[in-house]
Structure 1
Amino acid sequence: MANKIDYAGQSDDQLGESLSNLKREQFNLRFQAATSQLEKPSRVREVRKDIARIKTLQAQRSAAAGK
């Protein structure tokens, strides 16, 4: 992954914005895949994993704030 982003260094607002952008990209990639216009199939997996990373960070932060 050449353009790996450090999500741990982002604020909660930045994480939310990144998550929103990634979900929008995931939606667009699904449409491209359905119409056989997907140029980079590996990007689907990267986006999915980035979404999981952000959700994990958000869950960890909310659990730490609850203690």
Structure 2
Amino acid sequence: MKASELRNKDQAALQQELNELLKAQFGLRMQKGTQQLTNTSQIRKVRRDIARVKTVMNAKGNK
């Protein structure tokens, strides 16, 4: 997800997106722990998306 797409969303939509990404991260961690995860780069992508959402949320909150 691109930061420009996130900037167009409101605070509630960003919070919902963050919750979905955190659930996805949890699922990927569980898959990794049980040796079911084949594409480990997904963890990195989700982690960066979480950081991107949090950054946009903080920027909107400070205005």
Question: Does 2:33 correspond to 1:34?
Answer: yes
For structure 1, the 5+ residue unaligned runs are none
Give a deviation string over 1:2-26, Cα, whole Å, max 9, x none: xx34211211111000000000000
Runs of 4+ in 1 over 3 A off after TM superposition: none
Count of aligned residue pairs for this structure pair: 61
Structure-1 residue corresponding to 2:12:
13
TM-score, structure 2 normalization:
0.88
Per-residue CA deviation, residues 40-65 of structure 1 (Å, 9 max, x unaligned), is 2111001000000010111111111x
- The whole-number CA distance in structure 2 between the counterparts of 1:36 and 1:7 is 33
Partner of 2:52: 53
CA distance in 2, matches of 1:63, 1:46: 26
Rg larger for: 1
The amino acid that maps onto 1:57 is V
Identical-pair percentage = 34
